[in-house]
Amino acid sequence: MILIVDDSTTNQVLLEAILQEEGYQTITAFSAREAFKVIEKEKPELVLLDLLMPEVSGFDFLKQLKSKPDIANIPVIVVSAVGSQENVELCKRLGAVEFFSKPIDISLLINTVKRMVVVS
């Protein structure tokens, strides 16, 4: 299962459609708080994370996730419109495995997800 964390319904629907078309199960969260509740229950195999969210940013979510030993090993791919070199480097330092700038290259995203998650 892949968790999509994004405060934009449009982005969630787009990512869900792309991933479900490839046979992946998805679940969505609109905020970091909601995402942690999902992670507690579902233990996703991968997280797709937006950076610009209300209350808790994607950066802070990533820091919190990677600081918890029981869930720190869940890979995170950042999908964000703020793809400056500085942000990409910061996300990688915080533990993200990959960074995709919006608008995303769909085939590249799918290939990256396929390397990390086996369709069940």
109-113: average pLDDT: 96
The average confidence (pLDDT) of the chain is 95
Backbone conformation region of residue 53, classed left if phi is above 0, alpha if psi is from -120 to 50, else beta:
beta
Domain assignment present for 104: yes
Looking at residue 84, its pLDDT comes to 92
pLDDT of 120 strictly over 80: no
Closest CA to 57 of 26, 39, 80: 80
Residue 28 is part of a domain; what is its CATH number? 3.40.50.2300
In angstroms, the CA 30 to CA 12 distance is 9
Domain assignment present for 86: no
Q: What's the domain range around 29?
A: 2-81+92-116
pLDDT 10s digits, 14-30: 999 999 999 999 999 99
pLDDT band for 54, please (50, 70, 90 cuts).
confident
Q: What is the tally of structural domains in the chain?
A: 1
pLDDT 10s digits, 64-98: 999 999 999 999 999 999 989 999 999 999 999 99
The CA dihedral of 9, 99, 22, 65, to the nearest 10 degrees, is -70
